């Protein structure tokens, strides 16, 4: 008698009905509804043996019956006795689900090999987090084979190198019975498949490719955003990378890739990795959301509430770790992540309603992630049909989520960039006339001066000031004075060449820097400008108003080592023009053009 044939201490038939197993089930009423459906004739699961020559593409839960332990562990003989005593119940869904912290469960089904040869088949439980899974094959009251797997054992203990719990067996001709015992504090989800070896291989290859695409895409996004963070130093790029990294790690952990590739000798971490990485994923997602939506400024109370939520989640997980309660850690992690998706959605809604345009992408991303997670949850609980698409919807949702969040970041970057450019432009522009202001003129004039100075080329400055402008203001009002300033600015811009630099120097004064222009040419330009301003006709009711301006002109020479001194010479001549009667040009002590 082996370990599995040892005598039971508490294994009475129907014992589970007196002492219901401790479990957490999502949406119990839906489950009861599903159970009710099985009572309708024709909807009850088939009890017929599974033919080993038929192709079973999907999970075979509907052909299985189950029995849940209530006290000490049962051994195989006791499970066989429970089956004989009719204590097993038909499973109601293709994928069996007993919730978090459920009591160990026994599954049973029959297979038939109606060929004359042994048929090799692969049984796999395609979840990765179950602590212990035992497989038994019996025929004619004898146990022919047994195997065990689970993430409580080092990876090397597995008889088949797979991230799932896999058992391979050559079924002899005739009828055989399969018993499977599953024990775990994690969500007891049992997608059970029966495949021929080549079918199992192509099934695994398809999964490998799809994970390759998922991980490759997310990794590329992660590295790109990390580089943006390193280059720009903007925290939201770093937090987005952290969010993607946390999702990747969580996915690698719960798909069993982590145990297979990264920590095969650490079954302890394999079991704790799921709750820890789920909480890390939620924390990173919320930290990114707070930074991206700028909640500290936009919604300070919400900001504090989300920080408190993060603190509570991390604190409770820490408590679970302190008391080594994996069950409590899983409860915390699942609740934290479920609420996390709702919080992300609410934050997105809040920001969109607050008028933040980039938040529309954020909201769509949150909806995609939530829809993906909800679809997968409904598929694994058996409430909607299970297919590659519904089972992997969480990954598809995450791909959409990551893409939309990347778009949101790009959009925000573009908006920030154009706002910055606009602000820079406004800081260099005179708001009334649209001309350059004094600061922009100084910036642009400096290199022009340097080139002319180095190459010994001519360069001239013209300063002009509207005559008796105070009188215009006093007679017609400040707004009319503004109109005069705008008109004079337009005349200046229409008169100068493209390479000339013109600006409003202050008040009713304008400045021109004329590269490759000698004194006489500059004076000629000033004269053209003087005439153009004088020719302007402005209306004030039925009256016609005219304006004039005075000009001071100076050319760069050895006596003026810098731009400031050249401007002061032009200013001196402007003063002289005013003094000599206005509406004229002065550019040398005695000569006058107008």
Ligand X SMILES: Nc1nc2c(ncn2[C@@H]2O[C@H](COP(=O)(O)OP(=O)(O)OP(=O)(O)O)[C@@H](O)[C@H]2O)c(=O)[nH]1
470 binds ligand X (CB under 6 A): yes
Query: What gap in Å lies between CA 192 and CA 126, rounded to an integer?
Result: 6
Structure token digits, residue 362 = 């954020």
Among 146, 377, 400, 468, binds ligand X (CB under 6 A): 468
Q: Which residues are CB-contacts of 258 (< 8 A; sequence separation ≥ 6)?
A: 249, 252, 270, 273
**Minimum separation from the CB atom of position 527 to ligand X (A):** 19
551 binds ligand X (CB under 6 A): no
430 binds ligand X (CB under 6 A): no
**Minimum separation from the CB atom of position 507 to ligand X (A):** 4
- Residue 509 or 516: which CB sits closer to ligand X? 509
Q: What b/e string do you get for 450-461 counting C-beta neighbours within 10 Å, with b at 16 or more?
A: eebeeeeebbbb
Q: Kindly state the number of chain residues that form the binding site for ligand X, as judged by CB under 6 A.
A: 16
- Could you tell me which stretch among 44-52, 190-198, 248-256, 476-484 binds ligand X (CB under 6 A)? 476-484
465 binds ligand X (CB under 6 A): yes
- Residue 211 or 575: which CB sits closer to ligand X? 575
Query: What gap in Å lies between CA 364 and CA 407, rounded to an integer?
Result: 11
Query: Following CA atoms 323, 148, 274, 249 in sequence, which dihedral angle do they give, to the nearest 10 degrees?
Result: 140
Query: What gap in Å lies between CA 313 and CA 308, rounded to an integer?
Result: 9
**Cα angle value 153/159/164 (rounded, 5°):** 70
| Cβ–Cβ < 8 Å for 260, 156 | no
Query: What gap in Å lies between CA 438 and CA 250, rounded to an integer?
Result: 58
Query: What gap in Å lies between CA 59 and CA 328, rounded to an integer?
Result: 30
- Residue 31 or 530: which CB sits closer to ligand X? 530
- Residue 132 or 578: which CB sits closer to ligand X? 578
Q: Looking only at residues 196 through 225 of this chain, which bind ligand X when binding is defined by CB under 6 A?
A: none
Give the residue nearest to ligand X (CB): 481
- Residue 304 or 478: which CB sits closer to ligand X? 478
**Minimum separation from the CB atom of position 586 to ligand X (A):** 14
**Minimum separation from the CB atom of position 511 to ligand X (A):** 15
Binding pattern for the stretch 499-528 against ligand X, x by CB under 6 A and - elsewhere? --------xx--------------------
**Minimum separation from the CB atom of position 467 to ligand X (A):** 4
Query: What gap in Å lies between CA 405 and CA 591, rounded to an integer?
Result: 70
**Minimum separation from the CB atom of position 533 to ligand X (A):** 13
- Could you tell me which stretch among 5-13, 413-421, 438-446, 473-481 binds ligand X (CB under 6 A)? 473-481
Q: Which residues are CB-contacts of 563 (< 8 A; sequence separation ≥ 6)?
A: 445, 446, 449, 461
114 binds ligand X (CB under 6 A): no
**Minimum separation from the CB atom of position 592 to ligand X (A):** 17
508 is catalytic: yes
- Residue 133 or 574: which CB sits closer to ligand X? 574
Strand 459-466 to 509-515 pairing:
antiparallel
The three-class DSSP label of residue 176 is strand
478 binds ligand X (CB under 6 A): yes
571 binds ligand X (CB under 6 A): no
Among 86, 424, 482, 557, binds ligand X (CB under 6 A): 482
**Minimum separation from the CB atom of position 579 to ligand X (A):** 9
- Could you tell me which stretch among 279-287, 294-302, 467-475, 567-575 binds ligand X (CB under 6 A)? 467-475
- Could you tell me which stretch among 230-238, 304-312, 327-335, 461-469 binds ligand X (CB under 6 A)? 461-469
What are the DSSP calls for 98-154, one per residue? --BTPPPEEEEEEEEE-SSS-EEEEEEE--S--SEEEEEEEETTEEEEEEEE-TTS-
Query: What gap in Å lies between CA 459 and CA 481, rounded to an integer?
Result: 32
Q: Which of these is catalytic: 508, 520, 534, 555?
A: 508
Query: What gap in Å lies between CA 359 and CA 348, rounded to an integer?
Result: 6
579 binds ligand X (CB under 6 A): no
Helix, strand, coil tally for the chain in percent (to 5)? 55, 20, 30
Query: Residue by residue, what is the 3-state secondary structure of 512-568?
Result: EEEECCCHHHHHHHHHHHHHHHHCCCEEECCEEECCCEEEEEEECCCCCCCHHHHHH
- Could you tell me which stretch among 95-103, 262-270, 311-319, 469-477 binds ligand X (CB under 6 A)? 469-477
Among 89, 453, 578, 588, binds ligand X (CB under 6 A): 578
486 binds ligand X (CB under 6 A): no
Query: What gap in Å lies between CA 70 and CA 72, rounded to an integer?
Result: 7
Would you please indicate which residues are annotated as catalytic (active-site) residues? 508
Residues that bind ligand X (CB under 6 A): 432, 465-470, 473, 478, 481-482, 485, 507-508, 578, 582
């Amino acid at each position: 008698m082996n370990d599995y044939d040892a005598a039971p201490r508490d294994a009475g038939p129907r014992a589970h009905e007196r002492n219901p197993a401790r479990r957490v089930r999502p949406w119990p009423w839906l489950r009861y509804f599903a159970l009710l459906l099985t009572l309708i004739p024709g909807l009850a699961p088939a009890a017929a043996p599974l033919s080993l020559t038929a192709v079973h593409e999907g999970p075979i839960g509907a052909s299985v019956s189950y029995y849940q332990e209530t006290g000490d562990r049962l051994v195989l003989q006791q499970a066989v006795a429970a089956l004989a005593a009719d204590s097993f119940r038909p499973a109601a869904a293709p994928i069996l689900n007993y919730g978090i912290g459920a009591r160990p469960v026994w599954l049973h089904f029959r297979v038939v090999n109606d060929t004359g040869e042994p048929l090799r088949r692969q049984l796999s439980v395609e979840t990765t987090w179950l602590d212990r899974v035992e497989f038994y094959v019996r025929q004619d009251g004898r146990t022919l084979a047994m195997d065990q797997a689970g993430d409580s054992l080092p990876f090397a203990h597995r008889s088949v190198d797979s991230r799932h719990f896999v058992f391979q067996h050559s079924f002899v001709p005739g009828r055989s019975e399969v018993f499977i015992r599953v024990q775990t504090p994690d969500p007891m989800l049992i997608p059970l498949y029966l495949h021929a070896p080549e079918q199992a291989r192509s099934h695994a290859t398809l999964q490998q490719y799809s994970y390759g695409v998922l991980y490759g895409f997310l990794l590329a996004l992660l590295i790109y955003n990390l580089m943006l963070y390193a280059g720009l130093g903007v925290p939201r790029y770093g937090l987005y990378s952290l969010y993607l990294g946390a999702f990747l790690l969580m996915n690698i952990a719960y798909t069993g890739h982590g145990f297979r590739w990264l920590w095969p000798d650490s079954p302890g971490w394999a079991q704790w990795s799921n709750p820890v990485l789920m909480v890390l994923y939620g924390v990173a997602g919320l930290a990114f959301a707070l930074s991206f939506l700028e909640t500290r400024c936009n919604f300070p109370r919400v900001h504090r509430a989300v920080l408190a939520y993060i603190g509570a989640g991390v604190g409770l997980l820490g408590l679970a770790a302190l008391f080594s309660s994996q069950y409590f850690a899983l409860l915390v992690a699942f609740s934290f992540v479920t609420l996390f998706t709702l919080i992300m959605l609410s934050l997105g809604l809040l920001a969109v309603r607050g008028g933040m345009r980039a938040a529309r992408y954020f909201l769509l991303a949150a909806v995609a992630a939530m829809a993906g997670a909800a679809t997968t949850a409904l598929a694994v609980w058996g409430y909607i049909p299970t297919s590659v698409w519904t089972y992997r919807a969480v990954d598809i949702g995450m791909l959409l989520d990551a893409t939309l969040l990347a778009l949101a970041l790009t959009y925000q970057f573009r908006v920030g960039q154009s706002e910055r450019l606009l602000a820079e432009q406004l800081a260099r522009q005179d708001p009334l006339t649209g001309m350059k202001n004094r600061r922009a003129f100084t910036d642009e004039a400096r290199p022009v001066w340097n080139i002319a100075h180095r190459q010994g080329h001519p360069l001239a400055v013209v300063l002009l000031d509207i005559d008796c402008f105070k009188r215009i203001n006093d007679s017609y009002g400040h707004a009319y004075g503004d109109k005069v300033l705008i008109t004079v600015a337009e005349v200046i811009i229409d008169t100068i060449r493209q390479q000339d630099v013109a600006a409003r120097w202050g008040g009713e004064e304008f400045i021109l820097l004329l590269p490759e222009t000698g004194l006489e040419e500059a004076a000629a330009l000033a004269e053209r400008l003087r005439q153009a301003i004088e020719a302007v006709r402005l209306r004030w009711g039925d009256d016609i108003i005219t304006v004039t301006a005075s000009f001071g002109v100076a050319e760069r020479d050895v006596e003026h080592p810098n731009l400031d001194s050249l401007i002061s010479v032009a200013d001196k001549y402007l003063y002289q023009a005013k003094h000599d009667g206005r509406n004229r040009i002065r550019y040398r002590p005695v000569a006058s053009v107008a």
